[in-house]
């Protein structure tokens, strides 16, 4: 059975990553609006943004599983 601490830790990680992801999403949006300027960084910024949202998704799935196991 998962501990309350692990659930709380997941919630904290998700909250922290959501904040960072929001900024990355805005950075990607700004970059896209400015195209073709700085197009060289588009793949790098998009990949980093994708990865953080994937990580958030994975953590939310873990959290859901732990909360259902209670």
List the structure tokens of 19: 């904040």
Round to whole Å and give the CA distance between 29 and 6: 34
Q: What is the residue-level pLDDT of the chain in tens, covering all 70 positions?
A: 445 569 999 999 999 999 999 999 999 999 999 999 999 999 999 999 999 999 999 999 999 999 998 7
Cβ atoms of residues 27 and 45 within 8 Å: yes
The residues, ordered by sequence, that sit 6+ positions from 15 with a Cβ below 8 Å of its Cβ are none
- The domain tally of the chain equals 1
CATH value at residue 30: 1.10.287.660
Residue 1 has a pLDDT of 47
Give me the pLDDT at residue 2, please.
Answer: 46
Q: Domain residues for 53?
A: 4-69
pTM for this model (two decimals): 0.85
């Amino acid at each position: 059975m998962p501990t309350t601490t692990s659930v709380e830790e997941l919630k904290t990680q998700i909250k922290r990553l959501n904040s960072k992801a929001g900024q990355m999403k805005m950075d990607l949006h700004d970059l896209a609006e400015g195209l073709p300027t700085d197009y060289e960084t588009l793949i790098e910024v998009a990949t980093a943004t994708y990865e953080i949202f994937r990580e958030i998704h994975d953590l939310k799935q873990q959290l859901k599983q732990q909360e259902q196991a209670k």
